[in-house]
Structure 1
């Protein structure tokens, strides 16, 4: 359930960090910033996730979600709803010319309803059930004695701006978001080797792993047989 979780007195959009990296088409070093995502960029951010995150993220790809137009519509609508909480963050060139990357953030509450049966499409229901299966084995609420935590629902960086440390900067900025929201834990699932290495580089701590082989046995509707990544991993940050 989406709740009003952002302090009303907090200036919007918050700028969390700035950094310097190569420009899009040259070796010139330019300025980038990480800030909260304004509403006028919601559509562009969702399209970035649909085009450059959804086809690469292991669970969605191995359930062949992109082949179902109704499932894609469900994902789009869900991301739009999550963005409306106004805590998600994005990377922009400091001159405002390009949306470089986006990270959809959300708060998971201990008393949240199970949404695995609320999806219209089997593909999304299966993805959520698999994630619930993992979260039962790694119970963040019991592990840290908390009733809510920050999570990352999806992170994408434009192909034109990869290998510039943008994903790391987005992950690091999530810690600042958690602090502002008075949350003590960030916990998120990372399903690709590259994402897992980025989490490590950003100071996130691996706290749980499970093999895709084991998941394949329990969730035969997925096809994990051709993966180069061996594990699904959860990484946490204690604030």
Structure 2
């Protein structure tokens, strides 16, 4: 069964508001908001992830996704598919439509077979399969006694806004979102060391840490040659 957003929750909903430094002036605090991505910004968000994620996320860089035409095409198709679930978050600065950050979210259910997207790209399939292996190893449904949970398929912060706590605040926005939809758990496979540290400070528990050397022992699809990260972590936050 594929999770569907209740129509009773307005789209967009503003999930979190905060203040943080402005671009080029660390002494000037401005207001930001984290809200639902709306259909009119889908293609803008695709471009945002192409420019600020695909060539930097450790696993995508290792697999060469940004320079492989098929993998790149299928990845953008996957993003659009996730957008249509009406859970992806966008961060805006006050009185601006520039995308400061984006977080592609979805709800995983026990009956997840219907959620799986088949791809032709062996490189992209390797990323999907290795991440499925990690979450299956943890067994989040059994460990936390849930039938569904909020998961993450990528976060990208605009380069000009990095170092201002945007990642932290976008992670915080998941809490009211989960409470509204009755989701008792959010979990992510964090591949970036900085994001792992931010999540830990917010109370995320490390369910599993696996080095990429260990992961590669499972075969070519699980191999990430020259990857900049030492390990990947499955990290979860229980929503009270």
Identify whether the pair has TM-score above 0.5, normalized to the shorter chain: yes
Structure 2: tracts of 5 or more residues without a match: none
Gap change, CA 1:205 and 1:108, over 3 Å in 2: same
Cα distance in 2 between the residues matched to 1:228 and 1:37: 30
Give the aligned partner of residue 52 of structure 1.
52
Deviation at 1:103, TM superposition (A): 0.5
Give the aligned partner of residue 163 of structure 1.
163
Gap change, CA 1:218 and 1:151, over 3 Å in 2: same
Give the aligned partner of residue 81 of structure 1.
81
Alignment: residue pair count: 238
Contact 2:71 2:123 in 1 (8 A): yes
Pairing of 1:179-190 with structure 2 (within 5 A): 179-190=179-190
Give the aligned partner of residue 119 of structure 2.
119
TM-score (norm 2): 0.92
Gap change, CA 1:222 and 1:50, over 3 Å in 2: farther
Contact 1:2 1:85 in 2 (8 A): no
Deviation at 1:117, TM superposition (A): 7.9
- 3-state SS in 2 of match to 1:119: coil
Deviation at 1:225, TM superposition (A): 5.2
Give the aligned partner of residue 231 of structure 1.
231
Gap change, CA 1:175 and 1:60, over 3 Å in 2: same
Q: CA RMSD in A?
A: 1.9
List per-residue Cα deviations over 1:14-61 (Å, max 9, x = no partner).
111111111113232211111111211111111111221122222222
TM-score (norm 1): 0.92
